[in-house]
Amino acid sequence: MIHMKDIDLKNKRVFIRLDLNVPLYNNKITSSARIDCSIPTIQLALKKHAKIIIASHLGRPEEGKYNEKFSLFPIFKYLKKKLPEVNIIFSKNYLQGIKIESNQIVVLENVRFNYGETKNDIDLSKKYANLCDIFVMDAFATAHRIESSTYGICDFVKQACIGPLLFSEIKILKNIFNKPIHPVVTVIGGAKVSTKFKLLNSLLKITDSMLVGGGIANTFISTNYSIGKSLYEKSFQEKAKKLYETKKIFLPIDSRVCTSFSIKSKSKIKLISNILPNEEILDIGDQTIKNYKEVIKKAKTIIWNGPMGVFEFPNFRKGTEEIAKSIANSSSFSIAGGGDTIAVIDLFNLKNKISYISTGGGSFLKFIENKTLPILERLKKF
């Protein structure tokens, strides 16, 4: 793939697709991490004297309709503060064309306000392409989506390339999965096996030990024990058995349970062989925590995706917290990705203790599954 740094951008209209999908509360940014990660890309374009167009989505608004709640205007204001010496303007109506000068930045309103964005509409893709001379894809978190501003635009621009942030993410992930340093320990949580079955298969090829929690663990446990009214997937029990035959998977031996799914429910630790019909597993137990920590201690590489239980409920948070802190305090190279995983990292203030945090959720998982992403294959054709 052609890299942005290797292209002459001087006086060229450069459409940069970034991931500026940050959390907002009352129109105020509560975490600027994704914007801050993108600023070096903008600065590189400025250094090359480009006419810069910045595009991103924000949230999931109803397509084709403006909704102030999902406006990129707060992000525009943040960029003006971070780059005070640059002429930055905001554009709501841009599909018919925009005026832009060198070393100027135009921040486009949320691309998901445009009808056809998520469906990769051809007409919309053409309109994006008409705005620019060069397309730069630098949004890892949306690199798994085939949408007009992330993929379709490539069919109608003369030149497209990969941005530095996306390049960095892919390089790090490829190094981990092509040349992992063993022992490799993967920590996998979340609700369903069905959504992560391909992921588990891919990870087991390089993994020495896989520590499983959450609803995913319940499906494995349910093949041998009664788990009361716990969340599990009956249709995936046979597939879970086959995965377990690899002898790499570690499962909980005890769990924190309750009789009603509520933030107020008290937790009780039970062996998985003693779960009653009216009980529900919401977290791993203390002996499981101890066992998992022993495995993590021996790791040289840790890949982490998903919580060990319902960490949103304080009484069922201990498993996720203890395992997260164990990963953070490990001397191994640790990589974390996925929305819930990042939420856990923020909750326990572990950001500076994880070796690498992927900016993407779905893209992180899809890349692990397939070792590539649709847009990467498309960019190779330029």
- pLDDT, residue 321, reads 98
Identify the residue whose tokens are 């554009």.
91
317 is an annotated ligand-binding site residue: no
The string of pLDDT tens digits covering residues 90-118 is 999 999 999 998 889 999 999 999 999 99
List strands edge to edge, sheet with 268-271.
268-271, 254-258, 280-284
21 is an annotated ligand-binding site residue: yes
Cα separation of 151 and 122, whole Å? 11
- pLDDT, residue 118, reads 96
338 is an annotated ligand-binding site residue: yes
The end-to-end CA distance of the chain, in Å, is: 7
256 is an annotated ligand-binding site residue: no
Amino acid symbol at 234: K
57 secondary structure, DSSP code: -
Instruction: Give the residues across from 186 on adjacent strands.
Output: 210, 303
131 is an annotated ligand-binding site residue: no
Q: Contact at 8 Å (CB) between 304 and 186?
A: yes
Confidence of residue 329 (pLDDT cuts 50, 70, 90): very high
Given a cut of 90, whether residue 34 has pLDDT beyond it is no
Q: What architecture is the 4-163+372-380 domain classified under in CATH? A: 3-Layer(aba) Sandwich (3.40)
Catalytic residue, chosen from 192, 293, 300, 353, is 192
Instruction: Give the residues across from 301 on adjacent strands.
Output: 184, 333
Identical fold for domains 4-163+372-380 and 180-351, yes or no, is: yes
Identify the residue whose tokens are 């709640």.
69
Span of 59-73, 184-198, 263-277 with lowest mean pLDDT: 184-198
Q: Which two tokens stand for residue 236?
A: 């995936």
Percent of the chain, pLDDT > 90? 82
Cα separation of 150 and 187, whole Å? 30
Span of 80-89, 142-151, 189-198, 218-227 with lowest mean pLDDT: 189-198
155 is an annotated ligand-binding site residue: no
57 is an annotated ligand-binding site residue: yes
Angle (deg, nearest 10), helices 197-204 and 362-370: 50
3-state per-residue secondary structure call for 151-185: CHHHHCCCEEEECHHHHHHHHHHHHHHHCCCCCEE
20 is an annotated ligand-binding site residue: yes
Given a cut of 80, whether residue 314 has pLDDT beyond it is yes
Predicted model pTM? 0.82
Distances (CA, A) of 107 to 69, 199, 334, 364: 17, 36, 35, 26
Domain parsing of the chain, residue ranges: 4-163+372-380, 180-351
Verify whether residue 362 is a known catalytic residue: yes
19 is an annotated ligand-binding site residue: yes
- pLDDT, residue 30, reads 85
| Helices and strands (H and E) in the chain: how many | 12, 17
- Please give the average per-residue pLDDT across 163-186, as a whole number: 91
Given a cut of 80, whether residue 245 has pLDDT beyond it is yes
Confidence of residue 192 (pLDDT cuts 50, 70, 90): confident
Confidence of residue 221 (pLDDT cuts 50, 70, 90): very high
- pLDDT, residue 273, reads 96
CB atoms within 10 A of CB 149: 26
Verify whether residue 34 is a known catalytic residue: yes
Alpha-carbon dihedral 319, 323, 329, 334, rounded to 10 degrees: -150
Cα separation of 52 and 88, whole Å? 9
- pLDDT, residue 358, reads 85
Span of 43-52, 134-143, 194-203 with lowest mean pLDDT: 194-203
Verify whether residue 179 is a known catalytic residue: no
Angle (deg, nearest 10), helices 286-297 and 318-328: 10
Verify whether residue 285 is a known catalytic residue: no
Q: Contact at 8 Å (CB) between 112 and 129?
A: no
Catalytic residue, chosen from 5, 82, 325, 362, is 362
- pLDDT, residue 337, reads 86
CA R_g for the chain: 23
Catalytic residue, chosen from 198, 270, 300, 339, is 339
283 is an annotated ligand-binding site residue: no
Catalytic residue, chosen from 34, 256, 317, 366, is 34
* Residue whose C-alpha is closest to residue 3's, from 163, 168, 221, 134: 163
Given a cut of 80, whether residue 123 has pLDDT beyond it is yes
- pLDDT, residue 368, reads 83
- Please give the average per-residue pLDDT across 264-293, as a whole number: 97
Instruction: Give the residues across from 25 on adjacent strands.
Output: 28
- pLDDT, residue 212, reads 97
312 is an annotated ligand-binding site residue: yes
Confidence of residue 197 (pLDDT cuts 50, 70, 90): confident
- pLDDT, residue 114, reads 97
Confidence of residue 316 (pLDDT cuts 50, 70, 90): very high
341 is an annotated ligand-binding site residue: yes
Q: Which CATH superfamily is domain 180-351 in?
A: Phosphoglycerate kinase, N-terminal domain (3.40.50.1260)
- Please give the average per-residue pLDDT across 284-303, as a whole number: 97
319 is an annotated ligand-binding site residue: no
